[in-house]
Amino acid sequence: MSKIQYVIKRSGDKVPFNRNRIVNALYRAAIAVGERNREQIEQLTDQIIEKLELEFSEKKIPHIEEIQDIAEYILIKNGQAKTAKAYILYRAENIRNREKNSKQDNRLSENIPWAKCWQILDWAVTHSLNTIELLNQKIKAGKIKEIIQESEHAYQRDIAHAAELIIDRAKETKLVIVTGPSSSGKTTTTHKLETYLNKEGLKFAALNVDHYFFDLAMHPKDEFGDYDFETPQALDLDLINEHLNRLVKGEKVLIPTYDFKTGTRKLDQTPMQIHQDEITLLDSLHGLYPDMTASIASENKFKLYLEPLMQLKAADGRYVRWTDIRLIRRMLRDSAFRAYNPTQTLEHWHYVRTSELRNIIPYINTTDYVINSAMPYEIALYAHKLGKEFAKWVEKYREDPLKLDAYTRALRINEVLKQTEPWDDDSIVPEDSVLREFIGGSSIKYH
């Protein structure tokens, strides 16, 4: 047993020391530079712990920063310069983010599509749907069907405009990228977008990047047994680029298949070729990540970004967060379709959000068009479906320093849902609504 039993977190909390946290941090850094030798990472971790035991004891507890300093030293000592650089950069990025959050920086972020947000806010004000209080008043007045009709129409109008832009650029467009963070509604939007294109004699030929995951055993895993498969490096980016490049040239490729039950991939399985009336489609979380489509020239790509850009203000004057909307959506979808209960989704979300902030959000303003997939009425459904659960999670995680992220999110969402008039009848949601992607009952056949 290691002499190191506890670690002091940045918050000052004393938590149990866990060797796997070091393994996973180093392995993530290695994966970022294309290395996947887990055995080597285990050996490096042993060296880190050995040095920790020389410098610390049960009475002298190491701080997390001291452990990270030693990790950097061991990486460099063992000639792991690339991994050390990635580890140092991630560490520096986390420090900057913490400093920014502590200062409550109110400057405008360049990673937010402000013009689109102002357009949506104007729509919300015009329709008296810019605060939870106004939404509640409309629901109590029996106007929820009116809210649904107006919300769905705005979403449909966004899709129609995106389709027009693609059609205008059809001659030079070889690849359409439909992207956005988790649970933004990519699948439904892609289906609706293709319906418009079909009227002009065009259709999508989708490259399913889910089949390009590396074997699950090659992903980092945390101390709770949860795999981090949210990063673009979880995908075989080199093979994706090779296949995309060949597909847009009209060549036939053999797509791999990925078995999610076993977490393993088989290469060269399914033939695929792009025909004259087809446009290659990439529907992916990481579609904006430069290395994902580096083999395709910029002028041959049309990039479409989705986000539930809800402009709805709570009683405390703060707007409902888009990431919280997506978290609830994913909870419902995971529970309905993926045998993953809402508690697991909440505890995994920090991986989702970390990857978004690093690999998705910085590229928002490189897109050709942004679609808003938010429906103001959806939080009324969520207040009914998960309101009690969030109240329970607040109590469950309140005193657990290892689950601070889950507690913070649960607390914030609980306050929003407590203010919201719940609606218990899903039948009012149109069968082709983007919300059906998460609550079930869609008339759209998802592949």
Three-state DSSP at 384 gives: helix
Q: How confident is the model at residue 184 (pLDDT cuts 50, 70, 90)?
A: very high
What was the pLDDT predicted at 97? 63
On the question of pLDDT at 103 being above 60, the answer is no
- Residue 137: per-residue pLDDT: 97
Q: How many CA atoms lie within 13 A of 214 on its CB side?
A: 20
pLDDT, position 224:
55
Q: Is the pLDDT confidence value at 105 over 70?
A: no
Q: Which residues of 107-140 are buried (b: 16+ CB within 10 A; e: fewer)?
A: eeeeeebeebbebbbebbeebebbbbebbbebbe
Q: What is the structure's pLDDT at 59? A: 76
Tell me the average pLDDT across 345-368: 89
Across the range 369-392, mean pLDDT stands at: 96
User: Which residues sit opposite 213 in a β-bridge?
Assistant: 235
How far apart are the C-alpha atoms of 280 and 203, rounded to whole Å? 9
pLDDT band at 99 (very low <50, low <70, confident <90, very high): low
pLDDT digits (tens, 9 = 90+) for 10-51: 777 778 888 888 888 888 788 777 787 888 888 888 888 888
Average pLDDT, the chain: 88
pLDDT band per the 50, 70, 90 thresholds, residue 412:
very high
pTM for the model stands at 0.79
The tokens for 83 are: 């991994």
* 205 secondary structure, DSSP code: E
Q: For position 147, what pLDDT does the model report?
A: 96
pLDDT of residue 227: 62
Answer left, alpha or beta for residue 274, where phi above 0 means left and psi between -120 and 50 means alpha.
Answer: beta
Model pLDDT, residue 180? 93
Q: What pLDDT, on a 0 to 100 scale, did the predictor assign at position 225? A: 59
| CA-wise closest residue to 245 among 207, 289, 199, 285 | 207
Instruction: Identify the sign of the CA torsion 285, 106, 92, 22.
Output: negative
With a cut of 90, say whether residue 218 has pLDDT above it: no
Name the DSSP class of 411: H
Domains of the chain: 6-102 (no CATH), 114-439 (3.40.50.300)
